[in-house]
C-alpha cells in the first residue's frame, strides 16, 4: 500500500488517520468539502489536499491508481437527523457513498475501508456482534447502515475488483473531537464552569474508543486479506456516563456542573461490542484506557487558543 485516498480528511477521525498515514511515508490524497474545524488545514509531508464535494464533483481521477480508499466523510450526529435536515444526511451519507464506491469499482481500486457506526445496531441486550440483526433507532443510523450495505454490495458483485471492510466504530473520543460530542462538552464544562447538559440520568452506557486505537484498526483494515467484511472497532469496556463524569473531574481537577435534560430520541440506552472478530481479523486490541485518553483530550483542549474555543462556546449556546 503506497497511494491512498482519505475522504473526510478535515474531520475528527479523518485528520488523525491522514496524520498517521503520512507518518508511514505513504502518498495521501486528502479530500473534504468542509473546512478544518480548529484552524488552518493540516500540513504533513506526502499529503495533498483538495476541496471535493463527493455528492457532485467528478471522482474518477481521485480514485485512479489508489491502493486503498478510506471513506470517512459523512454527516454525523443522531439529533440533527430527525426532521428537515434528513435530506442532507441522505445525500452526504448515502448518495455520496454510492458515487464513491461506484467510482472505486469502475476504477479498479482493490480495497475500500468504510467508516460505519455502532448506531446501526439499535437497542441491544448484550454485546453486539457483526452477525446480529441491525435495527437503527435514528435516521442517522439508517443512513449509515444503507451506506455500509451499498459498499458491501459492490464487493459481492460477481467479478468485482473491489474488496470492502466496513468498520463499525463505537463512540470515538480524543483530541479534535467534534464540540457537540459528550466528552468535548464535558471537558469544556469543567474548564469553563458552564454546566454540562446531560441527556438522561447518566446511567446510560457507551463503549468509548480512543481515536488512536480507531486509526490503528482502520489502517489494519486496509491490509488484511478480505472480500466483504464487517468489523466492530471498540474500546474494550462499556462505561456509564456518570462514571465518565467522575474520570473527567479527576483528570481536570474541576467540578462538573450538571444541567440534566430528558433522553434524546434515537439514543440507545447502552452500547457494548463483541470484539472477537476485530481481534481475529485485524489483530486489534485497544491500547489506551479511558483515563489516559480523556487526559490526552483534556490536554489538547487546554492548548487551544481563544478563537478555536469559540466553536465550543457556540455549541453550548445551541
Same domain, yes or no: 89 and 227 = yes
What sign does the dihedral 55-71-20-271 (CA atoms) show? positive
107 and 157 both lie in a single domain: yes
pLDDT in tens, 182-206: 999 999 999 999 999 999 999 999 9
Q: Averaged over 75-89, what is the pLDDT?
A: 93
- Please give the average per-residue pLDDT across 41-56, as a whole number: 91
CATH number of the domain residue 256 falls in: 3.90.25.10
- Is it the case that residue 248 has pLDDT exceeding 80? yes
End-to-end CA distance of the chain: 43
Q: Mark whether 135 and 184 lie in a shared domain.
A: no
Same domain, 217 and 185: no
Phi-psi map region of 305: left, alpha, beta (phi>0 left; psi -120 to 50 alpha): beta
Give residue for cell 500500500: 1
Q: What percent of the chain has pLDDT over 70?
A: 97
Mean pLDDT of 133-161: 97
CATH number at residue 144: 3.40.50.720
Confidence of residue 142 (pLDDT cuts 50, 70, 90): very high
pLDDT of 315 strictly over 90: no
Q: Is the pLDDT of residue 317 over 70?
A: no
Give dist(CA 137, CA 280) in Å, integer.
29
Of 81-85, 138-142, 147-151, 276-280, the poorest mean pLDDT is in 81-85
Tell me the pLDDT band of 306, cut-offs 50, 70 and 90: confident
Highest mean pLDDT among 244-248, 263-267, 302-306 belongs to 244-248
* pLDDT score, position 307: 78
User: Is residue 318 very low, low, confident or very high in pLDDT (cuts 50, 70, 90)?
Assistant: low
State the catalytic residues: 140
Residue 71 sits in the same domain as residue 128: yes
pLDDT, average across residues 18-28 = 96
Same domain, 26 and 153: yes
> Other CB atoms closer than 10 Å to residue 48's CB: what's the count?
9
Instruction: Compute the distance between CA of residue 199 and CA of residue 77 in angstroms, rounded to an integer.
Output: 14
DSSP tag of 152: H
On whether residue 295 sits in a domain, the answer given is yes
The three cell numbers locating residue 111: 480495497
Buried b (16+ CB within 10 A) or exposed e, 272-297: bbbbebbeebbebebebebeebbbbb
Q: What is the DSSP letter of 70?
A: E
- Same domain for 153 and 38: yes
Together in a domain, 22 and 162: yes
**139 and 193 both lie in a single domain:** no
pLDDT (0 to 100) of residue 41: 64
Cα dihedral sign, 117-122-127-132: negative
The mean per-residue pLDDT over the stretch 130-135 comes to 96
Question: What pLDDT score does 39 carry?
Answer: 67
Q: Is residue 196 part of a domain?
A: yes
d(CA 54, CA 94): 11
On whether both 293 and 148 belong to a single domain, the answer is: no
pLDDT reading at 316 higher than 80: no
pLDDT of residue 38: 79
* 313 pLDDT tier (thresholds 50, 70, 90): low
198 and 261 in one domain?
A: yes
CA 109/CA 79 separation, integer angstroms: 34
Domain around 68: 3-172+208-233
The continuous run of DSSP H or E covering 36 comes out as: none
In the chain, the number of structural domains is 2
* Dihedral sign (CA 95, 219, 240, 311): negative
Instruction: Report the run of H or E that residue 81 belongs to, with start and end.
Output: none
Amino acid at each position: 500500500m503506497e497511494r491512498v485516498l482519505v475522504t473526510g480528511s478535515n474531520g475528527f477521525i479523518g485528520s488523525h488517520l491522514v496524520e498517521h498515514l503520512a507518518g508511514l511515508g505513504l502518498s495521501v490524497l486528502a479530500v473534504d468539502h468542509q473546512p478544518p474545524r480548529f484552524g488552518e488545514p493540516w500540513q504533513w509531508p506526502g499529503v495533498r489536499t483538495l476541496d471535493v464535494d463527493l455528492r457532485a464533483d467528478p471522482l474518477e481521477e481521485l480514485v485512479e491508481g489508489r491502493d486503498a480508499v478510506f471513506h470517512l466523510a459523512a454527516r454525523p450526529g443522531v439529533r440533527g437527523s430527525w426532521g428537515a435536515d434528513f435530506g442532507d444526511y441522505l445525500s452526504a451519507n448515502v448518495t455520496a457513498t454510492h458515487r464513491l464506491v461506484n467510482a472505486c469499482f469502475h476504477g479498479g481500486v482493490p480495497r475500500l475501508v468504510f467508516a460505519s457506526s455502532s448506531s446501526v445496531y439499535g437497542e441491544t441486550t448484550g454485546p453486539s456482534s457483526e452477525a446480529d440483526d441491525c435495527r437503527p433507532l435514528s435516521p442517522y443510523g439508517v443512513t449509515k447502515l444503507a451506506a455500509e450495505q451499498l459498499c458491501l454490495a459492490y464487493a459481492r458483485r460477481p467479478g468485482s475488483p473491489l474488496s470492502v471492510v466496513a468498520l463499525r466504530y463505537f463512540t470515538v473520543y480524543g483530541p479534535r473531537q467534534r464540540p457537540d460530542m459528550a466528552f468535548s462538552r464535558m471537558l469544556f464544562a469543567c474548564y469553563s464552569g458552564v454546566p454540562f447538559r446531560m441527556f438522561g440520568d447518566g446511567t446510560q452506557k457507551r463503549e468509548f474508543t480512543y481515536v488512536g486505537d480507531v486509526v490503528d484498526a482502520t489502517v489494519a483494515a486496509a491490509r488484511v486479506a478480505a472480500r466483504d467484511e464487517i468489523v466492530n472497532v471498540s474500546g474494550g469496556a462499556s462505561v456509564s456516563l456518570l462514571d465518565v463524569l467522575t474520570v473527567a473531574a479527576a483528570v481536570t481537577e474541576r467540578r462538573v456542573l450538571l444541567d440534566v435534560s430528558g433522553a434524546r430520541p434515537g439514543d440507545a440506552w447502552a452500547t457494548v461490542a463483541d470484539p472477537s472478530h476485530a481481534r481475529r481479523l485485524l489483530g486489534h486490541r485497544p491500547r489506551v484506557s479511558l483515563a489516559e485518553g480523556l487526559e490526552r483530550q483534556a490536554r489538547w483542549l487546554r492548548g487551544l487558543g481563544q478563537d478555536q474555543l469559540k466553536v465550543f462556546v457556540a455549541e453550548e449556546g445551541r
